[in-house]
A and B are shown apart, each in its own frame.
Chain A
Amino acid sequence: NAGVTQTPKFQVLKTGQSMTLQCAQDMNHNSMYWYRQDPGMGLRLIYYSASEGTTDKGEVPNGYNVSRLNKREFSLRLESAAPSQTSVYFCASSEAPYTIYFGEGSWLTVV
């Protein structure tokens, strides 16, 4: 009963390094999301994908890129990490417009 799986769970990056967060869902959902969570700010949408082959910017897209590889997978890439991108990242999926289901999170620290 996997649901939404994201990797890695923890990562430390140096400023300027790049990395990709991987996400896969096994619920056959069309919609997938990447959010970031920062203390006192709730969750903010980075990017959204309504279906395979489509992506849209959310509230805070700067510094990120995404790829909807297929219906199951939606990756988030940091091309040149900055300390301001230290955060907890959550991948999610849904059969819009209803309940969104979240992964367990990826804790990213940029030093």
Chain B
Amino acid sequence: AQSVAQPEDQVNVAEGNPLTVKCTYSVSGNPYLFWYVQYPNRGLQFLLKYITGDNLVKGSYGFEAEFNKSQTSFHLKKPSALVSDSALYFCAVRDNVKGYSTLTFGKGTMLLVSP
């Protein structure tokens, strides 16, 4: 089965500074990778995905992610953090279990952006 790891439970960054939220994956075959964001008491919102092609993927709200096959990583990045970016971020990988397609999620990383 596929798996993802988010090694940091929490990331703290000051507003205006660049941010990185880390994700590593373990898959057999080509990886389909996703980032989602969850604001308090809300559902998960899709940010971006990597299926194939350019290793730098651009997504919603100014976020981007860099796919690195040799390091099996898919880190989420943003050049300049906003206080409103404070939320819970999930990395996920497509998984095929019993012949159907679903997502396997990491445990999540809380991003706190201070003013």
Contacts and interface: CB of A to CB of B under 8 A. Distances in A.
Interface of A: 4, 31, 33, 40-43, 45, 48, 50, 56, 58, 90, 94, 96-105, 107
A106 to B, nearest CB: 10
A42 B113 CA distance: 21
A43 B44 CA distance: 10
B41 interface: yes
B49 A98 contact: yes
Interface in B83-115: 90, 94, 96-98, 100-103, 105-108
A96 B103 CA distance: 10
16 contacts: A33-B102, A40-B107, A41-B107, A42-B90, A42-B105, A45-B102, A48-B100, A48-B102, A50-B100, A56-B98, A58-B97, A90-B44, A94-B101, A97-B94, A98-B32, A103-B43
Contacts of B25: none
Contacts of A41: 107
B101 A96 contact: yes
Interface of B: 9, 32, 34, 36, 41-46, 49, 51, 90, 94, 96-98, 100-103, 105-108
Among B32, B34, B41, B42, which residue has the most Cβ atoms of chain A within 10 A?
A: B41
A78 B85 CA distance: 35
Contacts of B41: 105, 107
Given A56-B98, A58-B102, A96-B100, A105 B107 contact: no
Contacts of B96: 97
B90 A43 contact: yes
A105 B42 contact: yes
Nearest to A4: B43
A45 B98 CA distance: 13
Contacts of A98: 32, 49, 51
